[in-house]
Amino acid sequence: MNPLKRLGRRRASVLSLLAVAALVTPGAATAAPDAVRASTLGAQAAQSGRYFGTAVAAGRLGDGTYTGILDREFNSVTPENEMKWDTIERSRGSFNFGPGDQIANRAASHGQRLRGHTLVWHSQLPSWVSSIRDANTLRSVMNNHITQVMNHYKGKVYAWDVVNEAFADGGSGQMRSSVFRDVLGTGFIEQAFRTARSADPAAKLCYNDYNIENWSDAKTQGVYRMVRDFKARGVPIDCVGLQSHFGAGGPPSSFQTTLSNFAALGVDVQITELDIAQASTAAYANTVRACLNVARCTGITVWGIRDSDSWRSGENPLLFDRSGTKKPAYQSTLTALGGSAAAQRTGAPSPRSATALPSSFRWSSSGPLVAPKPDATHRIAGIKDPSVVYYNGKYHVFASTASSSGYNLVYLSFSDWSQAGSATHHYLDRTAIGAGYRAAPQVFYNTQQRLWYLVYQTGNASYSTNPDISNPNGWSAPRNFYSSMPDIIRQNIGNGYWVDMWVICDSANCYLFSSDDNGHLYRSQTTVGQFPNGFTNTVIAAQDSKYALFEASNVYKVQGSNQYLLLVEAIGSDGRRYFRSWTSSSLAGSWSPLAASESNPFAKSSNVTFPAGTWTRDISHGEMIRAGYDQTLTIPACKLQYLYQGKDPNAGGDYDNLPWRLGLLTQTNSTC
Ligand code: XIL
């Protein structure tokens, strides 16, 4: 972002040459390795804040091949049968936690999360329960079971499948007949969730079912209506588990839509029992990608380790064969998670993801979602330059606060975009970040150092660190990346400003990009080990005429591909802000145009629709909603979303006092 400067009036004549101007990359492009990649499913999923789990059978824990794979690959476990009613409370009031404890204790000592499965289910239910005909008796039996089991596993189970498989197959969209529904009525699910919340308020409470993956299925719709109703009435529910026992074709084409529609209700979604007949590479990769493309899809569990461990063993539906060797679907799963092909043991070729960005974009915009919240000591005209990560169930947004009296930073967090406007604004000038000129923040988590970084401009390129993103007071005082402005910038900046610092790392190096409001994008480099020190050797990464390559650059890794994406904000012939885009196979490489012209922009008022009303004609400084939150800045390849600053088209006057607001673009021409 460009502080302290008026940019309102532009002359079209300056801009007519811009659209075709090429970007140059001085110096030899070094072959940069891919972004940080892990070689196991769990570690790779963790890079985007997700888990990758498996069902575990207590009876197999003596098998060294089995436990070897379990501990190497998975960071979450679900007991396959050991926490079901017929194991835990085979006769009324007599609880057998032995097999469940075996799995729970082992998971705890191996740092694996535990999903509790399952409290109320019509199947694997002892006959003393299914033969109850009296509603009061059944209610107290059900509540007692939930309470005793949840109490026993308090602090150990991260999420419980409170109710399993309560809906009927077929076209009714209604609940299935079971002793619970037949004796207690359809309200039994609500009753179970309320009891569960009071038994262990810290556990996530999930509804879990199969055949709810296809959006248009009546069963899916029935479950969706129930969850919507629960959320509307405040019945406690935190997550929906989609079992995902798929046939050979894998997930239905609407799977991602289903995940995101549930998530939009304000619940997490999880793939809880994944297995796919014949385990084709594409079917597994498609399933994983659907989850990664939905911010609130928080984890994937496969229903067993080796084909021989599967309840569908005749269909070979899992990721390891009978001898424990990785199958091709293992590799496609790891690759879809963004992982390393180098981990391959089988020698089979690594399936190359076909996922790539389109060469033109269309978007739909929200209305203004975040406006300044001035208070007695913060006079703020505009909220600008947002940086955003989704972490731990929340969007964490950092932004510049602007007014003619100066610039500083603000932090807000919320679980849902519908809550963005009501979130509390924490002004960071009262923290160690301090008062004075601070602007254009960028936030990410450094996985090596286990620290959050906030990068921003102060005249120099500065940063603060914080072990806890949700604690606004945890940020350190500013430090500078450079001792002073690098010579190459000094020589090229002209009358511009040194702005918009941006850090991105691959597995070997970190790069610091910045702009000069004078047609140059700069890049400095250091090693991952030296970061945040050692940024030397600054070069011009791209150049064009001043307004064609103005400021607010973003650089991302595109998930599931070898592409990096560069966005740079330009000023159009109409004087309005818009974005151009380029791609490269390496962060230090040369950038090829993707949607890089005024007539085929990455995002401009001309390719954005405004269903809620055209509140801005500027699509200006912002950030993509990432697939993860670490230093690799990985974004999904599909259904992109971009948080940007816009303003009332009629607003004018002092640039620093313009009424910038934040809005969200959602890509509408995604083909995947
Ligand atoms: C299956 C187990 O894998 C089998 O070992 C057992 O015999 C039957 O149950 N939906 C569920 C799981 O929620 O609990 C089921 O697990 C598979 C279908």
Overall average pLDDT of the 390-412 stretch: 95
Task: Look at 21-25, 119-123, 165-169, 653-657 and tell me which has the smallest mean pLDDT.
Answer: 21-25
Q: In the numeric block, which tokens belong to residue 464? A: 């603060």
What residues are paired with 484 via a beta bridge? none
CA-CA distance, 166 to 357, in Å (whole number)? 40
Residue in 165, 213, 598, 623 annotated catalytic: 165
Counting atoms of ligand 1 from 1, which one is nearest the CA of 272?
A: 13
pLDDT category at 560 given cuts 50, 70, 90 is confident
Model's pTM, two decimal places?
0.53
82 and 43 Cβ atoms separated by less than 8 Å: no
How far apart are the CA of 126 and the centre of ligand 1, in A? 15
pLDDT category at 350 given cuts 50, 70, 90 is very low
The pLDDT, as a whole number, for residue 2 is 66
The pLDDT, as a whole number, for residue 10 is 33
The pLDDT, as a whole number, for residue 32 is 28
CA-CA distance, 575 to 174, in Å (whole number)? 56
Q: Helix (H, G, I), strand (E, B), or coil: what is residue 589?
A: coil
Residue nearest to atom 15 of ligand 1 (CA): 80
Mutate which of 123, 125, 212, 309 for ligand 1? The one with the most ligand atoms within 8 Å of its CB, which is 123
Overall average pLDDT of the 637-661 stretch: 95
Helix (H) or strand (E) holding 72, with range, is helix 64-73
How far apart are the CA of 310 and the centre of ligand 1, in A? 10
pLDDT for residue 332 is more than 70: yes
What residues are paired with 661 via a beta bridge? 646
CA-CA distance, 436 to 459, in Å (whole number)? 11
How far apart are the CA of 55 and the centre of ligand 1, in A? 10
Counting atoms of ligand 1 from 1, which one is nearest the CA of 245?
A: 18
How far apart are the CA of 80 and the centre of ligand 1, in A? 6
| Total count of residues recorded for the chain | 672
- Is residue 165 flagged as an active site residue? yes
* Cβ of 60 below 6 Å from ligand 1: no
Counting atoms of ligand 1 from 1, which one is nearest the CA of 117?
A: 14
Q: In the numeric block, which tokens belong to residue 297? A: 């899809």
* Cβ of 164 below 6 Å from ligand 1: yes
pLDDT for residue 474 is more than 70: yes
| Secondary structure tally for the chain: helices H, strands E | 14, 31
* Cβ of 81 below 6 Å from ligand 1: yes
How far apart are the CA of 312 and the centre of ligand 1, in A? 10
Q: Helix (H, G, I), strand (E, B), or coil: what is residue 37?
A: coil
Residues 6+ apart with CB under 8 A from 381: 372, 402, 403, 404, 656, 657, 658, 659, 660
